[in-house]
């Protein structure tokens, strides 16, 4: 077929216009990346619609990527991180989301908000756009699940084939005390009883009272919360055989259970599990409580917390034991790698964080602040999981990936 000179000229002009538009769009996206990563302090009122959508940084020289010894491959290990309440899981989530965002990996994101569901089990049917055929054939589209979701192995395996499963646990005594005050549950107790000691004068009736007054936080919480997050229903918490069976299955099914009290050690174990550099796992702590917003616990109150959360105590004690088996299995370089990681942490804090200007406006938690003279790359370490969820969700929408339907949740 012969092309006339007029048609050829028109085609050439069209091509030039398309190339020019592509260059303009790439420039605009790069400006968006710079805007996110060079901001000296991430605002808490971040809105998805008010910021440009950052793009993958693998073509941009950036200190975080240049420091990383982990090279993305076509077959990245998939990771399901099972968040638990008041265990430093938000700090872990921020690390995972930063890693996946900078490497341009894929996440299953909530369609609305920043959690999938903390009340009901993960439900594969809520992954919008994931056909039943793809679920059967296990055509996995996602590298990560990082937002709050109650553990349901069968449904999760329908979306995340051959994934590594990781969670984090905390001593139930300190976890319960932290949750009690973080969610300010003392407000819903009778006058003169608004403390942990007051709660444990009559825990059964006080629990019922709190559930009536503040169902959002107590309908399914404040009683063996960590095991609830991992799939056990509230009505089964007092059945020893059900609890023992569930803990045994978790030991078989989970690849790593991190321990809050040994957080740095846990991060080193995570680096080996995922074949990531220790540089990739650097973090700024999230949600650490202010010293004045804690209740000194007597031995009696500690014993009462353990009794009230006896299923969580069993869970924690089992995995606290197996944790040290993981450390032993790591190999002889563990202590040296731990020392290296802690040195990286000190360097990060010295370079980026201004401890003199920590934000204490929320009486519950201390929020780290960026040094005014910090390098521009530091900003991304101060983004929390709410901020990362917003920008990652935008990217997943642009990629056409399914979202988890959360918009009708109460």
Per-position DSSP letters for 321-360, written without gaps between them: HHHHHHHHHH-TTHHHHHHHHHHHHHHHHHHHB-GGG-B-
Residue appearing with tokens 């990681």: 341
Fold of the CATH domain 38-183+221-339+375-399 = Rossmann fold (3.40.50)
Closest by Cα among 113, 77, 68, 121 to 406: 113
- Does the structure show a pLDDT above 50 at 140? yes
Host H or E run for residue 149: strand 149-150
Residue 257: beta bridge partners? 167
Phi (first) and psi of residue 213, to 5 degrees: -85, -30
- CA pair distance 355, 51, nearest whole angstrom: 28
Host H or E run for residue 167: strand 164-169
Average pLDDT over residues 339-355: 92
- The per-residue pLDDT for 182 is 82
- CA pair distance 97, 32, nearest whole angstrom: 18
pTM of the predicted model as reported, rounded to 2 decimal places: 0.79
- CA pair distance 29, 179, nearest whole angstrom: 40
Q: What's the Cα-to-Cα distance from 310 to each of 150, 226, 254, 298, rounded to whole Å?
A: 20, 11, 21, 18
Average pLDDT over residues 134-157: 80
Q: What are 279-305's pLDDT values in tens digits?
A: 999 998 865 655 665 678 899 999 999
Yes or no: say if 405 and 111 are a contact pair by the CB < 8 Å rule: yes
- Does the structure show a pLDDT above 90 at 249? yes
- Does the structure show a pLDDT above 90 at 180? no
Average pLDDT over residues 21-31: 40
Segments in 68-187 forming alpha helices (H):
89-102, 132-137, 153-157, 172-182
Q: Which of 47-61, 295-309, 318-332, 352-366 reaches the highest mean pLDDT?
A: 318-332
Yes or no: say if 171 and 261 are a contact pair by the CB < 8 Å rule: yes
Closest by Cα among 341, 329, 239 to 281: 341
Residue 144: beta bridge partners? 79, 107
> What is the pLDDT of the chain when averaged over all its residues?
79
- The per-residue pLDDT for 41 is 36
Average pLDDT over residues 264-274: 97
**Percentage of the chain lying above the pLDDT 90 cut:** 48
Provide the edge-to-edge strand list for the sheet that holds 256-259. Answer: 144-145, 79-82, 164-169, 256-259
Spans of all domains in the chain: 38-183+221-339+375-399
Closest by Cα among 219, 247, 255, 218 to 231: 247
- CA pair distance 274, 294, nearest whole angstrom: 35
Structure tokens at 147: 């937002």
């Amino acid at each position: 077929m012969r092309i006339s000179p007029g048609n050829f000229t028109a085609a050439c002009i069209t091509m030039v216009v398309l190339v020019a538009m592509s260059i303009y769009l790439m420039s605009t996206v790069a400006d968006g990346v710079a805007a996110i990563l060079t901001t000296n302090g991430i605002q808490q009122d971040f809105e998805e619609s008010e910021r440009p959508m950052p793009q993958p940084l693998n073509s941009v020289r950036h200190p975080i990527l240049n420091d990383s010894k982990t090279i993305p491959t076509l077959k990245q290990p998939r990771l399901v991180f099972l968040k638990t309440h008041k265990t430093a899981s938000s700090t872990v989530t921020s690390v995972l989301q930063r890693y996946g965002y900078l490497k341009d990996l894929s996440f299953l994101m909530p369609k609305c908000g920043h959690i999938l569901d903390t009340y009901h089990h993960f439900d594969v049917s809520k992954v919008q756009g994931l056909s039943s055929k793809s679920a059967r054939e296990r055509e996995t589209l996602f590298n990560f699940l990082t937002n709050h979701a109650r553990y349901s192995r069968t449904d999760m395996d329908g979306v995340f084939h051959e994934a590594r499963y990781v969670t984090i646990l905390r001593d139930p005594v300190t976890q319960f005390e932290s949750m009690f005050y973080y969610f300010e549950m003392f407000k819903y107790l009778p006058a003169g009883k608004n403390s942990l000691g007051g709660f444990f004068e009559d825990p059964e009736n006080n629990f019922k009272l709190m559930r009536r007054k503040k169902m959002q936080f107590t309908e399914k919480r404040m009683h063996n919360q960590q095991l609830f997050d991992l799939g056990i229903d509230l009505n089964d918490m007092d059945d020893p055989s059900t609890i023992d069976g569930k803990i045994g299955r978790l030991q078989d099914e989970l690849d790593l259970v991190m321990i809050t009290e040994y957080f740095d050690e846990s991060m080193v174990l995570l680096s080996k599990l995922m074949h990531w550099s220790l540089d990739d796992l650097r973090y700024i702590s999230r949600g650490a409580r202010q010293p004045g917003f804690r209740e000194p616990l007597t031995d009696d109150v500690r014993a009462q917390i353990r009794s009230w959360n006896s299923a969580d105590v069993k869970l924690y004690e089992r995995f606290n034991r197996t944790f040290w088996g993981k450390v032993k299995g790591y190999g002889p370089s563990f202590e040296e790698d731990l020392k290296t990681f802690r040195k990286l942490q000190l360097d990060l804090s010295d370079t980026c964080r201004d401890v003199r200007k920590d934000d204490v406006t929320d009486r519950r938690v201390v929020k780290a602040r960026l040094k005014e003279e910090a390098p521009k790359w530091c900003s991304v370490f101060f983004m929390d999981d709410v901020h990362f969820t917003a920008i990652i969700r935008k990217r997943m929408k642009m990629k056409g990936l399914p979202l988890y339907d959360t918009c009708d949740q109460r």
